[in-house]
Amino acid sequence: MMRLKLLAAVVSVAFSAGCAQMAQTPGGEAKPAAPAAAAKKFTEWKNIVDYAYVKPHATLPRERNAGAMVIDSRPAARRYDEGHIPASVSIPDSSFDKMTDRLPADKNRELIFYCGGFECELSHSSAYKAEKLGYKNIKVYAAGEPDWTAKGEILSVSTVFIKKLIDEKANVVLIDSRPERPFAAGTIPGAINISDSKFAQMVDKLPKDKATPLIFFCGGLMCDLSEKSAKKAKALGYTNVRKHTEGHPDWVAKYGAKPAAAAPAAAPAAAAAPAKAGAVDIQPGKEKGSISVASFERILKESPAQILIVDVRSPAEFKLGSFPGAINIPVAEVEPKFATIPRNKPVVFTCATGARSGEAFDTTNFLDGKFNAYFLDANVKFADGKYTITGR
């Protein structure tokens, strides 16, 4: 019994003397470190938000200049490029003063900074710097990227990182989740095409090794096809899945456009022809099967009841806004619901970029070559009950 008491005393003394964490004062004198709750060596920002708050601001589709700006304060090359919260922009805290041009002009716009978790001070530091610049609505996602990943979310990689992988001939599979038509018109070099709407039918194009790195991309922040496909790949057991949310548009902006290798040739432009329905003057667009923007806008203004607009975006996108009188049939449901689409007037498929609407047209044309349909090949945006259409 005496030996046990003596041993306990020795252990207690040893722990007190040398096993606890020690901190050095400027003069070299050691002292015990502060408790974990008070161990922060930086001043935390006053307004902390959590995963649930950030999630809506990192969910596609979304406008780059709408809503909160999510900002990654970590170093770009070693952290942001390799994996960041989708739709976030990179402003490393170490380069903050040199990159203030990336901040919004509107000082009232919400800013959400994040970095590498609770022990990372970069996001807090950047928040204070933004406050000094006059920004009034600033928050910090203190749990940061580690928490985002722990919640099962898929990180996004940068366009620069994609280029680096291509140059290094890395063992990675780039997957374009857009329909075949836009893929054939141009994609990121080396990418394969697995259209999200046909993911189940094309799953055999994925590598057998579930550990192979996969990176899905599509038409930018307004396109959620890559996000959907990435989740499907994870559900199949693939363990190294990322997204490239800026997608093909950002690749083109940085490195130029290139056609898909060994891809089916793009459909030739349609020559001007009378409308399929004599009572409706529909002028074709550049792409086969498309309606010109001018013709579509004229019909919307003068006689909208003469066409049936089928919005093939997701229900969530449709809920945020669509054309007057439009019905919603997501592109993946066009084939199974084909028989239910009314045949008493010309059908015009629409989406956000012309990609999904073109696929819907191709699908219906395959099912019935005489089906009276067109698609709007244009960039479309909805806001405050209004729409803008920009021809491609």
Tens digit of pLDDT per residue, the chain (392 long)?
333 333 333 333 333 333 333 333 333 333 333 334 445 678 999 999 999 999 999 998 888 888 999 999 999 988 999 999 999 999 999 999 999 999 999 999 999 999 999 999 999 999 999 999 999 999 999 999 999 999 999 999 999 999 999 999 999 999 999 988 889 989 999 999 999 989 999 999 999 999 999 999 999 998 889 999 999 999 999 999 999 999 999 999 999 876 665 444 433 433 334 444 446 889 999 888 999 999 999 999 999 999 999 999 989 889 989 999 999 999 889 989 999 999 999 999 999 888 889 889 988 988 888 899 999 999 899 888 889 999 87
Domain of 98, in residue numbers: 51-150
The predicted pLDDT at position 279 comes to 66
Q: Are residues 163 and 138 in the same domain?
A: no
Q: Give the residue from 212, 172, 213 showing the smallest Cα distance to 190.
A: 172
Residue 192 located in a structural domain: yes
Residue 44 located in a structural domain: no
3-class DSSP state of 76: helix
Q: Are residues 230 and 302 in the same domain?
A: no
Phi, psi of 217 (to 5 degrees): -150, 165
Residue 280 located in a structural domain: no
The predicted pLDDT at position 261 comes to 55
Q: Are residues 121 and 200 in the same domain?
A: no
3-class DSSP state of 236: coil
* Maximum distance among all Cα pairs of the chain, rounded to whole angstroms: 107
Label residue 47 exposed, middle or buried (CB < 10 Å: 0-12, 13-18, 19+).
Answer: exposed
Q: Give the residue from 97, 260, 111 showing the smallest Cα distance to 175.
A: 260
Numbers of helices and strands, H then E, in the chain: 12, 17
Residue 20 located in a structural domain: no
Q: Are residues 132 and 187 in the same domain?
A: no
Q: Are residues 243 and 295 in the same domain?
A: no
Q: Give the residue from 89, 354, 87 showing the smallest Cα distance to 245.
A: 87
The predicted pLDDT at position 316 comes to 87
Q: Are residues 131 and 209 in the same domain?
A: no
Token pair 């004599």 is found at 278
Tokens representing 228 are: 């959907």
Edge-to-edge, what's the strand order for the sheet holding 173-176? 192-193, 173-176, 214-217, 241-244
Q: Are residues 62 and 105 in the same domain?
A: yes
Phi, psi of 266 (to 5 degrees): -65, 150
The predicted pLDDT at position 260 comes to 61
| Contact partners, residue 226, CB within 8 Å, separation at least 6 | 175, 177, 196, 216, 217, 218, 243, 244, 245, 247
The predicted pLDDT at position 377 comes to 92
Q: Are residues 168 and 130 in the same domain?
A: no
Residue 284 located in a structural domain: no
* Residue count (the chain): 392
The predicted pLDDT at position 257 comes to 78
Residue 310 located in a structural domain: yes
C-alpha distances in Å from residue 218, one per residue of 31, 120, 184, 226: 55, 32, 13, 6
Q: Are residues 87 and 174 in the same domain?
A: no
The predicted pLDDT at position 65 comes to 86
The predicted pLDDT at position 317 comes to 87
Q: Are residues 117 and 169 in the same domain?
A: no
Q: Are residues 334 and 366 in the same domain?
A: yes
Residue 156 per-residue DSSP state = B
Q: Are residues 188 and 207 in the same domain?
A: yes
Q: Give the residue from 196, 235, 247, 229 showing the smallest Cα distance to 86.
A: 247
Residue 204 located in a structural domain: yes
Picking from 126, 150, 174, the residue at the C-terminal end of a domain is: 150
The per-residue DSSP string of 83-127 comes to -B-TT-EE--GGGGGG-GGGS-S-TTS-EEEE-SSTT--HHHHHH
Q: Are the beta carbons of 299 and 306 closer than 8 angstroms?
A: yes
Look up residue 327 and give its amino acid: I
Quick check: pTM over 0.85?
no
Residue 250 located in a structural domain: yes
Q: What is the CATH number of the domain that holds 71?
A: 3.40.250.10
Picking from 150, 180, 207, the residue at the C-terminal end of a domain is: 150
Domain count, the chain: 3
Picking from 95, 120, 150, the residue at the C-terminal end of a domain is: 150
The predicted pLDDT at position 129 comes to 98
